[in-house]
Chain A
Amino acid sequence: MNYHILKKDGLDGFIKKLAGQMKVCAPVAKGHGAFAFEEVSSAAEISLKYIPTILPPKKYFMPPREKMLEFDLNGDKPKDAANLEPEKLALFGVHTCDLAGIQCLNMVFSERPRDYNYLLRKENIFIIGLECNEYCDGNASCALVGNHYPNGGYDLFFTDLGDRFIVHVNTQKGEELAESQGLPKASPADLSALEKARDAKKHVFQNEIGVGPKLLPEIFARGMESKVWQELGKRCVSCGNCTNVCPTCYCFDMSDTINLDMKTGCRTRTWDSCQFETFASVAGGENFREERAHRQRHRYYRKFKYPLDKFYRSFCTGCGRCTRTCMAKISLKDTLKTLAAEYK
């Protein structure tokens, strides 16, 4: 594979040309230090320096509310169909933590029985990554899980080299786009500049909790009864912010809506949260995760324990969103540090 160069003053032309081909979504400043992926048509609208967006790019792969089935009760027996109009879309400026998040969801939804809604959307999304040369803020823990460097998951990947971006091409589709945009090949000098930038990151990004990631499964295996869960439980609001903003939370609920004709309607999938009180309750009244402490514990285990056994990777991408959004100041890094300290 190879590298191209895009001069920074050429970015606007790049985005405009791309926007002529498909919808382009990129991080946009929303004020008060918040950002969101939104449709753009020029480089001026994009925030190249941004902390992780309120919602991760998962919203394009698995929309918060999605129609999964339409039904029609006119006639002798019901009819239904699963229809989808997948939108051709380019995501620009996706950080490495969010690329990792998308990779996690890809694994989940391509596992059988497959989720064709997700897969069809994914096939229509072109992904352009953007490297972080420094931390977004102190809430991130990407170095802990090794997501501060790119590990695939994109078509093109941009790294800022001052006056220009060096663009790594990861897919044939990416190469075709780079060529159609007329991006020149990177020179040996560009490549050594990239190497230097990556080297510099080694000093900037350091394991945020001071415990090797290899120890995490063992820490969690022993941490089931830790006091930390009760402490979290006392503080948790059960608002579901942490799971809604998580790039790898994918739990959902299904519900039916009927139209006023009482004959046609649809089934909708909506993001759900294991933090909600009734999430694990059954019709008979039993609630298998009644306490906030247990629900918080469950969330952490779904990031640091279960997926490691099943998919061989952490489902915490280190983006720091859950900490940033928590109404009650529950910090992922602090929780991990407490668990690690108890382990020792």
Chain B
Amino acid sequence: MTEIKNSNWRLRKGQIVAARQMTDLEKWFEIKLEDGDLDHEPGQFVQVEIYGVGEAPISVCSSPTKRGTFELTVRAAGRLTKYMHGLGKGDWLGIRGPFGKPFPVKLMTGNDLLFVAGGLGIAPLRSLINYVMDNRREFGKVDILLGCRTPKDMLFGDEIEQWQKRLDVNFSCTVDRTAPDWKGNVGLITSLIPGVTINPEKTFGVVVGPPIMYKFVIAELLKKDMPERQIILSLERHMKCGMGKCGHCQIDHPKNYYCCKDGPTFTYEEVKEAKRF
């Protein structure tokens, strides 16, 4: 029997050091790897294995500037994620990764940033937002637009409160359906974009949300003359292997992108010919 020591299927062992239910659907986990830092970049994802249950791709929602542990926000959507909601502090997971092309942080340096997050899209975007906060002086003006279905679906409420208080960030938020104690905007996230002033040549728009959101948000950004290659998206597909092989995450596009390897982050210029976002 040969042991394949460098097999890419081997798992790093991660222990849940903290966990918290965020909403009915989402749970937050903080994980410590036994072999050191995850060493990811904003926008990357990991494959989470629950031994004997299976694996699922989850984007890392913490910034690499936070060392020692990393964080995941998990929506109970599939078989593994539902099971994962039953786990808590002390439980072990298998981790592969980080995988995927991160947000182009270096290219963004010295530019204004406009973040647009819809629903669970805030999770991968948070890795970048917190990175930017921790390196704030490297960037110009920062606008964050957040949309959720209802006020109680909002993730990272405490942190968002901090963002709202900061003088170096402009934060706006909207909900699709209001609730009695909600004083903010009501409407689709696209309604927030016209109100933002941007210097198109010097701004990167980073958009993360459900597939349906992209078309409309991109149209708004293009209206503001934002160059196609400065509109950054993070696309959702079922990334099963993370290595550009299993085929599940391939995007119907002339360039044959594998979402796990060539993405999940893309510029709009790269993927505008895709059949679907």
The answer to whether A and B belong to the same complex is yes
Which of A250, A255, A279 meets B248, CB within 8 Å?
Answer: A279
A70-99 interface bits toward B, Cβ cutoff 8 Å, 1 = contact, 0 = none: 010100011011111110000000000000
Assess the B247–A256 pair: CB atoms within 8 A.
no
Count, chain A residues at interface, CB 8 A: 56
Contacts of A256 in B (CB 8 A): 49, 51-55
Counted as pairs of residues, one from A and one from B, with CB atoms less than 8 Å apart, the total is 140
Q: Mark A273-301, 1 if CB is under 8 A from B, else 0.
A: 01000011111111011000010001001
B interface, over-half SS: loop
The reply on B211 being an interface residue by CB < 8 A is yes
Contacts of B246 in A (CB 8 A): 251-254, 272
Tell whether A282 pairs with B6 under 8 Å between CB atoms, given A71-B51, A73-B52, A252-B247.
no
Check B11 against A69 for contact (C-beta < 8 Å): yes
- By beta carbon, the residue of chain B nearest A72 is B51
Bound form: Cα–Cα A85–B2 in Å: 6
Residue of B nearest to A116 (CB): B4
Given A115-B245, A253-B246, output 20 extra A-B contacts at Cβ < 8 Å.
A69-B9, A73-B51, A78-B11, A84-B1, A116-B4, A253-B248, A254-B54, A272-B248, A279-B248, A280-B237, A280-B238, A281-B238, A282-B236, A284-B75, A284-B236, A288-B252, A294-B275, A298-B252, A305-B254, A309-B255
Is B267 engaged at the interface, CB distance under 8 Å to the other chain? no
Pairwise interchain contact A272-B247, C-beta atoms closer than 8 A: yes
Chain A residues with Cβ below 8 Å from B241 are 252, 254
- Which residues of B does A touch, CB under 8 Å? 1-11, 13, 15, 34, 49, 51-56, 75, 77-78, 81, 92, 94, 210-211, 236-238, 240-241, 243-248, 250-252, 254-256, 275-276
Question: A136 in the interface, Cβ–Cβ < 8 Å?
Answer: no
Q: Which residues of A contact B254 (CB under 8 A)?
A: 221, 224, 305
Nearest B-chain residue to A224, judged by Cβ: B254
Q: Which residue of A lies closest to B254 (CB)?
A: A221
Would you list 19 pairs from A and B whose C-beta atoms are within 8 A, ordered by A residue?
Answer: A69-B10, A71-B51, A71-B94, A73-B51, A73-B52, A77-B15, A78-B92, A83-B1, A84-B1, A115-B245, A116-B4, A221-B254, A251-B248, A254-B246, A256-B51, A279-B248, A280-B238, A284-B75, A286-B236
Selecting from A105-113, A156-164, A174-182, A232-240, the interface stretch reads: A105-113
